[in-house]
Amino acid sequence: MTATQCEYVSWNQFYSLCDKLHQRIVASGFHPDIIVAIARGGYMPGRILSDFFGLLDLASLKLEHYDHLHKTATAVIKYPLTADLTHKRVLLVDDVSDSGDTFAVALEHLRRHGEPAELYTAALHHKVVSSYEPDYYAQRIVKWRWITYPWAVVEDVNTFLSQAERWPADAAEAASYLQRVHGLRLPQRVLHQVWPKLGSDNTNRN
C-alpha cells in the first residue's frame, strides 16, 4: 500500500487562508448575496466567509465523494440545496478542489435552483491535478498531498492508524508512525486531544 503524504492545517492557518481568500474575492469586485457551502468540508470556510462578508444568508448541500480517504467512483448529492438562487450573486465554497468532480456535480445541482445573477466558486486549496479550477482559492497545491484540516483530524488519524500493521500503543508511537509514514506532523497538544477520541477498540487491535 502506498502511503498517503499529508499536510496538517492548524486553526490559525485555516483562518489566515480564509482571510486571504476573502481579500482575493473582494479585490475582484464580487460581493455575494448568498454563500452555499459544500458539506462537510465547506462548512467551516463558508461560515467564516459569510462572517467576513457580513452575510446571514448561508446555505448548504451535501455531496459524498470520499469514504474516509477512499474516493468513490462519482460524487453524488446526499442532501440537496433547498434555497432559491434566482437573481442572486452566489458563492459556492468548499475546502479543497481535489479531483474537481465535487465542484462539477455541485454546480450542475445549483443551476437547477433558479438562474443566479452571478455564480462563482471558491476553495481554500486548489490542487493543480484537479479537473476544475475554482474562480478563487487561497493556496495552490502543485505537489499532491492530502490536506488534514483541523475539523477532520480525528477522522483522518483514525483512518491512517487503522492502516498500520498494528495499532500504536500510545500517542507517542502514533505520532512517530504518522510522521514516518505519512509525513504528518501534528502538534503534541493536538495529538493528545485526538488520541482518546480514536477507535474505542484500539487497545485490542493488532
pLDDT tens digit sequence for 27-79: 999 999 999 999 999 999 999 999 999 999 999 999 987 555 555 557 789 99
Which pLDDT band, with edges at 50, 70 and 90, does 2 fall under? low
Domain of residue 114: give its range: 11-144
Residue 196 has pLDDT above 90, yes or no: yes
Last residue of a domain, which of 98, 123, 144?
144
Same domain, yes or no: 123 and 155: no
CA gap 103, 160 in Å, rounded: 26
Number of folded domains that form the chain: 2
Last residue of a domain, which of 108, 127, 144?
144
Which pLDDT band, with edges at 50, 70 and 90, does 1 fall under? very low
Last residue of a domain, which of 93, 115, 144?
144
Asked if 91 and 35 count as a contact pair (C-beta separation under 8 A), the reply is yes
Q: Is residue 65 a part of any domain in this protein?
A: yes
CA gap 31, 29 in Å, rounded: 7
CATH number where 130 lies:
3.40.50.2020
Asked if 191 and 174 count as a contact pair (C-beta separation under 8 A), the reply is yes
pLDDT digits (tens, 9 = 90+) for 73-110: 577 899 999 999 999 999 999 999 998 999 999 999 99
Q: Decide: residue 112, CB within 10 A, 0-12 exposed, 13-18 middle, 19+ buried.
A: exposed
First and final C-alpha spacing in the chain: 18
Same domain, yes or no: 160 and 136: no
Same domain, yes or no: 57 and 92: yes
CA gap 149, 83 in Å, rounded: 27
Q: Is residue 6 a part of any domain in this protein?
A: no
